[in-house]
Every structure is written in C-alpha cells, then in structure tokens.
Structure 1
Amino acid sequence: MLTGLSIKNYALIDELQVSFNNGLSIITGETGAGKSILLGGLSLVLGKRADLSQINDKSKKCVIEAVFDIANYDLKLIFEEKDFDYEPQTIIRREILPSGKSRAFVNDTPVTLENLVFVSGYLLDIHSQHQTRQLIGDSYQFMVIDALANNKTLLKEYSTLLLNYKSIERRVKDLEQSMIDAKKEYDYNQFLFNELNDAQLKSDELEDLETQFEQLNNVEIISETLSLTKSLLNNEDIGIVDKLNEVKRALNRINDFNKDYKSVEERINSVAIELDDILIELDVFEENLSSDPEELEKVNQKLQTINNLLHKHSVLEVSDLILIRDDLNQKISITENLDDTITEATAELGIIKTQLKNISSKISVNRQEVIPKFTKNLETILSELGMPNAKFNIVIEKTENFKANGMDDLQFLFMANKGSQFTELKKAASGGELSRIMLAIKSILANYIKLPTLMFDEIDTGVSGEISNKMGEIMKLMSKNMQVFTITHLPQIASKGDWHFKVYKTDVDEVTHTQMKALNYDERVVEIAQMLGGLNVSDSALAHAKQLLN
C-alpha cells in the first residue's frame, strides 16, 4: 500500500509531505484547489512522461517520491524479473531536472520509464474518467473475464507457445522464400559445379602440367640438346671429360712438389666425379625422353580447361577454384535439403498449433463458465447504483485465429433500459453509466486481483443521493481487502472514509501554493458540512455532517 508521498517543486506545490494508512482514504477540496496536481504527481511516479512546464521553480529540480509497503504482497519475483532490488518498503522517485531531463529510481536504482511503468502497475491503479474508456476496449474486457476465470497460468503457457509458433512460422516463410530464390539459381549453380568438378582440380597441379606441356611440346630440341651436351662432355677427341683427365695426369706429376698443387689436383678430381654423375643423369633423361602426341594433347586440354576456369571465375589460383567448387556444392546441398527442412519445420508448427488450440479451448471454457455469475453480480451491483434495468450479455465466439490471449472474440453487450436492444457497451452506455459499471467491475475484481492500492478520481461524477451512498459503501467494502483512495465532491462518499485529506490553496507573498492535510474529526465535520451546504456552514449542515460520519 501507499504509505507516504513527497512532492517538491511540482506545479503549485512547493513542498508537500503526507502519510497514508490502510483502508478507505477520502480526498476532497474545492474545484481548482489542486487535486489534479496531486494525481499528476502520482502519475509521474507511475511512469508518465515528464514535462518541463510542470516545474514550479525552473532553477530547481522537481522531485516526487512515493513509499509503498509491499511486504504482504507477492511481488518479489516481479522485482527480480526486472533486476530491481526488492525492499518491503519500496521507494519510487522521479526527478525532473531544470534541463528538462527526467530520471526514475526504484529503491535508489536508476530504471527506464518502460520498466517503471511495468513495476508500478503492480503497486497503484489510478482510475479516472479517462480510464473509464478502457472498459470499452477488448484488452480490458478480456483482462476482467480472465481474472475471474483464473486463466493466468494458462495464458502464460499459451503466450509462450504462441511466441514459439510465430517464430517457427516466420522461419517457414523465410525457408520457403529461400527455396524460391535458391531454385532460381539452382540450375546455374549445378552447371558451374559440374564444370569445376569434372575438371578434377588439384591445388598444386598447374605448375606440374605446365612443366609436362613444355617437355612434351619440345621433345626434339630437348633430345638434340642432350645429345650435344653428352658429345661435348664425352667425345674421344674433344670431349671435356678426356681433356679433364689429361689435366689430372699433368698435375699428378707435380703434386708432390707443393701441397697447393695437390689441392688443385683434388679439386680437379671432384669436378671429374661431378661430370661423370652429370653424364649418368643425362643418359637417364635421354632414356625417359619420348614423343607422345596423345599425352601432349591431353595435358594441353587440361591446361586450357584450368585457364578458362580461372578467367571465368576471375581468380588466379587453382586453390581458389576449389573453394568456389566447394561453395557451390554447399549451396546445391542446401537447396536439395530445403524441402526436408521445410517439412520438418511445418510438422513442428503443426504440433504447436494443436497445443495452442487445446490450451485456447481450456481458456475459452473457463471464460464461458464464469460469465453467468459475473453477469449476475454485475447487474445486482448496478441495480444498487441506480441502474435497476441494466442488463449484460457477454458473448464469446471462437475464431480460427491465434490472438494474443487465445482464440476468442469477446463482446460486452449492454442494455440500460427495458424494451431496448443489446448493443455494444461503447455505443449503449453514457459516461456516467460507464463510471458506475467500472466501479461495479472493480469491486468484483477486488476479490480476484490483489492490488496494493486503488485510487478513484471522481468516479462519482453525475450521481447523487442514495446512489452515491451506495457507491461509498462499495468502496468501503473494497477497502477491507485493499487500500482505496477516492477523490470526491459528494459528502455521502466522503463520510465513508477511514481517513480524510483536504487539498487547498494558500497565498504566500502573492504566490499561490497547493497544500494537503489530514483532517481530524472536527475538521471532517466542517468539511462535509461545507460539501453539503456551501462555505457558510449552518447548524443543520453540521448536524447532517455528524449524522453522516456516525
């Protein structure tokens, strides 16, 4: 429940601090006294967007702080969900800086407005005339019926499944589009792959093929060169080997005379040995040399194929062609496997669809079961609120669509008077009737949804007399289970409060300020008497006020 409120530098409020208790708290004040300012400050705590114009003194920041006692409310998991520090005495603070920048804090931890709205929704519900219009919306009507039907767990399970369903549904659509796109390129990719695959590429073969080609293409000149080389080395008359042997014999005659001669002889011997090895290798080259036109053509074609592919794919290395081939193969495989993937995803979608239908059916049954009792209770309360002929026909129709909260369409059909037709609530009910309907619904919901604090802002507009007295009794009854505030102009309702606060204006140094104070019994008598008969309080008005309070 709301235990304290502090407002500084907001609109006409210079500084205000007030404490609250459980039960029914009444807030009264003359028109223009500043009750709307009080609600505006509370709305900022709930996450309403701030406005620099709301700051009274533009040189100072505006600070609004609300203290909630939530020890008896199961809200710890809600705080953990948003990673907030949970405290039994929770403090929410909003600050509007002179620059216009706004900040929000929960237990001194900075939070976003989105998260503030989420958490504050579990702490305080302000019901104003504007919010009465929520009653005609599907989401609010579904919320009411589902709260009575205890569908919270089923709806959470349904929501999780629906999220998964939509995710898989998007995936199937993406896969189907990918299949369409892939099939457009499939034949071309297959052609390119076959062309590269038939080439039987090896990453290091280009250099070898070029070597083979040069050798096969130049057999004659290679043969002639080898023969000439062997002749120059080994000819009996002019061969280098024979001449070298003569050098060896000549040096052998003098090698004992000087060690340097001996060294040169040894070097000549090494050269002779190397030349012998070269001659052997040249013999091998000559033996292995053969003319093979078919092999030459085969190598030439392979070289042309590779060079054409390199040019076609704008790369320089065979290894790049291999990467392209493998990538094409992967694309082809993905295309060929897309059908299986789509089939599997579609099957999974079918399973979840069945589960969604089963859960939504349970949700719908629960809704149908609570409607008769809800309708009866609603009509009974409205009768007590001066609408004896009000009738409701709440219709649920199953659809084939997966909506955010099931597969139902919901209509609140209303008939205010005998002899008229059931019509959509938004067309059939006036503003005053909607306010009473909302109060009736809230009073029923109070037995199903546990809110720490509920605040009514002039929900009694347009009613008087016995109806207002009944309104007060309903609010009083609701306050047994929750903290209830009501801003009212009616003395019958004001007299029902456990606590009474007055909002008023004062002028200090030609500056108007809004103040708020808790009234004691005598002050309450005067306030209610003024609500009954005006500022000039008569003895009869005082007596009537005491009678109402007692």
Structure 2
Amino acid sequence: MLKILDIRNFTLIGHLTMQFYPGFSVITGETGAGKSIIIGAIGLLLGNRADVRQVKRGCDKCVIEATFDLSVYHSDVLKDFFMDNDLDYDPQECLLRREINASGKSRAFVNDTPVTLATMRELGEQLIDVHSQHQNLLLSKEDFQLNVVDIMARDKVQVADYKASYDEYRAAIRQLDELREQISRNRDNEDFLRFQQKELSEAQLLPDEQEELEQKAETMSHAEDIKRVLHETDACLSGDEGGVVSQTRQVASQLHGIEDVFPEARSLAERLDNCFIEMKDISQDVAARMDDVEFDPALMDEVTSRLDTIYSLQQKYHVSNNSQLLEKLADIDALLSNIDNGDEELHALEERVEALREVCLKKADVLTSLRRKAAALVEDDISKLLVPLGIPKVRFKVDISAGELSATGIDKVVFLFSANSSTEMSPVSQVASGGEIARVMLSLKAMISKAIGLPTIIFDEIDTGVSGRVAEQMAHIMRDMGDAHRQVICITHLPQIAAAGTNHYKVAKAETAEGTVSTMTHLTHEQRVAEIAQMLSGSDVSQAAIDNARSLLEA
C-alpha cells in the first residue's frame, strides 16, 4: 500500500511530498493542473520509460520516491521476490526510487539497492495497478479477457503446468522442422555427398601420413649430401687408420694398465670405457644409416604422387592436414547416414510430437473446464455490478470457444455485451459506448481486486462518459473496494465521486517567479466543501453549490 510519494524536480513540480492513506481517496483539479504529472511520476516507479524532458528545467536530475507498506499482503510471494533478487525485505517499509539525470541516464533502486528496470517493473506491477483511459482498449484484446477469466479461475498452477508442456511440444516441433529441412537439403546433395565420400574413402588417408611422406621426400632429395656426411662420420669413428673408436679403446686399456700404481686412473679408464661403448654404438648406427639412404627414383615418384593426391584433396576441401580430411569424411558419413536412416528418425520424432500434443490437449481441457466454471462467476458478478451503474437490462457473457493450441491453451475468450434486451450480444469493444466501457472496466477491476487482493489501485478518470446517479454508483463501488482492506485512488472530474472519498487531494497550477509550478494539497473538510462546490458550479461558486457540496459530503 502506498504511504508516501516524494517528487523532486519532475516537469512542473519542484518538490512535493504527499502522504496517502488506506481506503478510498480522490484527486481533483482543473484540466491541465498537473494530475497527469502525478500519474507519470508513479509510472516511472512502475518501470515506464524515462524521458530527459521530464527533468524540471534548470535542474540536474529528478527523483521520484515512494514508500510502501507490504504488511497488507497475506502471501509470501513478495518476500520470495525480495529473496530471489537479493534485496532487503522490510514489510513495514519498502522504498522504490527512480532517478533521471539531465543527461538522460536513468537509475532505479529498491530499498537503496540498485536494480534493473525490469526488476523494478516486476515489483511495481505487484504493488500498484494504474488504470488509465487507454487501458479501456484492453477490452478489445483476447489475451486480456482470457487473463481475467484465469484470475477468477485461480488456475495459476494449471496454467504453469500446461505452459511447461506446451514449451516442450513447441521445441519438439522446431526440432522436427529442422530435421525435415536437413534431410531435404541432404537429399538434394546426396549424389555430390556420395561422390565426396567415395573420393575420400578411396584415398585411404592416415592421420600422420603426410608428415612421414614429406620427411621421406626431403631425405631422398638430399640423399648424396646425407651419404657424404655419414661416410665421413663413419671414417672418423671407425676408420682403418686410427679411428676414434679404436683409439679410445686403446687409451682406456693403457689407463687400466697403470691403475695399480696410479689409482686415479681407474675412474678415468671407466669413463673412457663408457665413451667407447657409446661411440661404438653410434658407429654401428651410422654404418646402418649409410645403407638405408639411397635415392630411389621410383620410390621418389611414388611419394611425390601420394603427396600430390593429399595436397589436392586438402586444397579441394579447404583444410590443412589429413586429420581434418578424415573429420570431413566422418561428417559426410554422418550426413549420408542421416539420409539412409532419416525416415526412421523422422518417424520417431513425429510420434514424439504427436504424443506431446496429446499431453497438451489433455492439460488444455483441464484449463477449459476451470475457465468455463469461472466464466459463469464472471458473468454473474459483472451483471450485478453493471445494473446499478445505469445498465439495468445488461446482458454479459463470457464466450469460450475452441481454437488452436497456443501458449495459453486452446480457448478463445470474448466478452459479449448488450446494454438492452432487444439487441443481440456482440463483443463489448464493438458495441459498448465510451461510458459503458468505463463501467465494464470498473466492474472488472472491482471483481479482480477481490480475487487477487491488490493493495493499491489507481483509477485515472475512470468516470469518462458518466454523470449523475451512475457516477454515485461508481463512487460506491470504489469506496467499497477501498473499505475491503485496499487502497483505491481515483482521479476524477465528477463531484459525486469526489465527495465519496475518505481523503481528498487537489492538484493546482500556479505562476511563480520561477515559472509555472504544480502543487498538490491534502484538503481539510472545509476545503473539500469549496472544491466540490466549484466542481458543481464552476468559478462562480454560489451558496446553493456550497450547500449541495455539504449535502454530498454528508451523504
């Protein structure tokens, strides 16, 4: 419930702090006085888009702040919201703040914690319902009418259960469509794919083959230089004229011969023994390599031809090695397998889609049953509310017909309306006058508020197109809503409604040295008499108007 609204530097308002109370309150003022500014400020707290032009001229920023009492909620939904968003929760005082800089930057806060605009919007929608004239257009939208029925059906759990199944069903349909498209594309390219599969398979590629062939080709290209170096190395190590290997063995033997008289020679001799063994092994390897290195023209042609084949395939398939070619072959094999086994996979997925559709239809039938029961309640409640609002012959029907499966079920909901008994019922948005639509919307809001217990409802000129006795009845409905542990605030031009308020606020515009400013005042009883008298008679307030105003207030 809204407790305090504080507005700073917002359009024509320099600074305004206003306290609000439970029950039914009214806001009055001449056209253009700034009532819409109050609604605009509250709209910013509900996450509406900010406009830099809303910052009062000459100011750096505007700040809209509202304090709410959350203790009127009898549910843990709000508490869970605060926990889920890591926000401090105080049921006695919840602070929403919106700041707009002259540069255009906007910031939102909940209990002094910065939040996203989406988070503020989600919270604001649970705290305040602002009904403005443009909301009457909702009566032409089927989703609004369906939502009204769902609220009265209290089918939130069933709707969520159905939505989960429907999302799974739609996902399966998308998967089926993608498979069909993929199979179609693959079949269009089947001949080409089979040619590529044959070409790559016949190449009999090996992952490391390219590197081995390139090394072999490099070795054969330099065979003479390699043989020369190996020959010289062999001659040095094991040549007939004192090779390093035989000299090392000879020196080691001499050191062993003096180790009795010179003990240090033993370790030196052993080290040379090890060197002899290693060099002898190297010498044998060099000799073996000399036999292996030969320039074989036929083998060179074979290696070159194989590499040409590999390079050609890599260039053709835009890859850089054999591993990538083999991956390409695996992909082609998978595509062809999809073609070969596509019908089976397609059939299995079609069966799954149909099974999910049946699940959705069963859950949609549950929703339909709940909605039809709720529709009867809606028809009865709205008719009872509209009769005293000056439509004694009203006929109101919630028409529920079957449509296609959608995110909300299978039902199409249309509110049918007739203001008299001689005309057929038609969609309310097509046949109801502006005043009748306003009365229907008020009745719907009154009914919905009882079902969901929304603490604060703001009506912005809900009284459009009505007057006299009907206005009094509208005031009674709003006052009854306010008396049922709710807060109802109505912006009105009608004295009958203004007089019914428990609290009365007046918005006025004045010219000051700083320019035009809007103010808002909580009226005393005598100020209310004067304001309502002016609403009755205009600028020239007569004694009769004053007496009439007192009579309205007493009534």
TM-score with structure 1 setting the length: 0.78
Q: Per-residue CA shift, 1:387-418, capped at 9, x if unaligned?
A: 1122123211112x222211112222221223
Question: Which structure 2 residue ranges, 5 or more long, are not aligned?
Answer: 218-230, 232-238, 243-275
Contact 2:200 2:329 in 1 (8 A): no
Aligned to 1:464: 467
> Alpha-carbon deviations, 1:244-281, whole Å to 9, x = none?
9xxxxxxxxxxxxxxxxxxxxxxxxx9xxx9xx99xx9
Give the residue type in structure 1 aligned to 2:322.
L
Instruction: Say whether residues 1:394 and 2:395 are aligned partners.
Output: no
Shift of 1:309: 3.9
Secondary structure in 2 matching 1:485: strand
Deviation at 1:145, TM superposition (A): 0.8
The answer as to whether partners of 1:389 and 1:417 remain within 8 angstroms in 2 is yes
Q: Which amino acid in structure 1 is aligned with residue 492 of structure 2?
A: T
Residue 482 (structure 2) pairs with residue 479 (structure 1): yes
| 1:508 to 2:512 alignment | yes
Distance 2:468 2:215 in 1: 113
CA distance in 1, matches of 2:336, 2:115: 48
Whether the 8 Å CA contact 1:189–1:328 is kept in 2: the answer is: no
Paired residue secondary structure (1:370)? helix
Letter in 1 for 2:434: G
- Structure-2 separation of matches of 1:86 and 1:516: 30
Greater radius of gyration (CA)? 1
On the 8 A contact 1:315/1:321 being kept in 2, the answer is no
Q: CA offset at residue 24 of structure 1?
A: 0.7
In structure 2, which of residues 435, 439, 445 is the aligned counterpart of residue 436 of structure 1?
439
Per the alignment, residue 422 of structure 1 pairs with 425
> For the residues of structure 1 that align with 2:304 and 2:400, how far apart are their CA atoms?
77
User: 2: CA distance between counterparts of 1:76 and 1:396?
Assistant: 36
Distance 2:542 2:213 in 1: 121
Tell me the percent identity. 36
Alignment root-mean-square deviation, CA: 3.9
Relative to structure 1, the CA distance from residue 83 to residue 163 in structure 2 (aligned partners, 3 Å threshold; closer, same or farther) is farther
CA distance in structure 1 between the aligned counterparts of 2:11 and 2:307, rounded to whole angstroms: 83
**C-alpha contact (below 8 Å) 2:530/2:546 kept by paired residues:** yes
The question of whether the paired residues in 2 share the 8 Å contact of 1:199 and 1:305 is answered with no
Is the aligned partner of 1:135 residue 2:136? Answer: no
Confirm or deny: 8 A CA contact 1:199 1:306 kept in the other structure. Answer: no
User: 1:90-489, aligned counterparts within 5 Å?
Assistant: 90-203=94-207, 304=305, 307-314=308-315, 320-337=321-338, 339=342, 341-399=345-403, 401-481=404-484, 482-489=486-493
More deviation, 76-85/94-103: 76-85
Preserved contact between residue 413 and residue 423 of structure 1 (Cα < 8 Å): yes
Q: 2:194, 2:336 within 8 Å by CA — same for their partners in 1?
A: no
| Structure 1 residues 201 and 135: alpha-carbon distance in aligned structure 2, compared to 1, 3 A threshold | closer
Q: Check whether the contact 2:9–2:56 (CA below 8 A) recurs between aligned residues.
A: yes
Q: Matched residue of 1:121: which SS?
A: helix
| Cα shift at 1:146 | 0.8
Matched, 1:44 2:44: yes
Does the aligned pair in 2 maintain the 1:396–1:409 contact within 8 Å? yes
1:357 Cα deviation from its structure 2 partner: 1.2
Please say if residues 179 and 335 of structure 1, whose CA atoms lie closer than 8 Å, have aligned partners that are also in contact: no
Q: CA deviation at 1:462?
A: 2.2
Higher mean C-alpha deviation, range 155-164 or range 330-339: 330-339
Aligned partners of 2:46, 2:216: CA distance in 1, in Å? Answer: 85
2:154 maps to amino acid: N
Distance across 1 between alignment mates of 2:150 and 2:24: 27
State the Cα distance separating 1:17 from its structure 2 match.
0.3
**In structure 1, how many angstroms separate the alpha carbons of the residues matched to 2:70 and 2:414?**
35
Cα pair 2:310 2:322 within 8 Å, conserved: yes
Distance 1:211 1:465 in 2: 103
Report the Cα offset of residue 539 of structure 1.
4.2
| Change in CA separation of 1:364 and 1:209 when aligned onto 2, cut-off 3 Å | closer
Query: Structure 2: which amino acid aligns with 1:465?
Result: G
CA spacing shift, 1:211–1:539, aligned 2, 3 Å:
closer
Give the stretch that moved more between structures: 301-310 or 59-68: 301-310
In structure 2, what residue type is equivalent to 1:25? Answer: S
Partner in structure 1 of residue 530 of structure 2: 526
Letter in 2 for 1:402: L
Give the Å deviation of 1:323.
3.9
Comparing 480-489 with 78-87, which one deviates more in the overlay? 78-87
Inter-CA distance 304–542: structure 2 relative to 1 (3 Å threshold) = same
1:43-84 CA-to-partner distances (Å, cap 9, x unmatched) read 222222222322223333111111111233231233445554
Change (3 A) 1:517 1:206: closer
TM-aligned CA distance change 1:367 to 1:328, over 3 Å: same
Aligned length: 490
Q: State whether residues 190 and 328 of structure 1, in contact with CA within 8 Å, keep that contact through their aligned partners in structure 2.
A: no
SS in 1 for 2:450: coil
Is contact 2:7-2:64 (8 Å) kept?
yes
SS in 2 for 1:402: strand
| Whole-angstrom CA distance in 1 between matches of 2:353 and 2:393 | 49
Which residue type is aligned with residue 365 of structure 1?
Answer: S
**For residue 34 of structure 1, what is the aligned residue in structure 2?**
34
- TM-score (ref. length: structure 2): 0.78
The match for 2:15 is 15
CA contact (8 A) 1:203 1:319 kept: no
Deviations 1:116-164 (A, max 9, x none): 3222111111112111111221121111111111121122222223233
Deviation at 1:369, TM superposition (A): 1.4
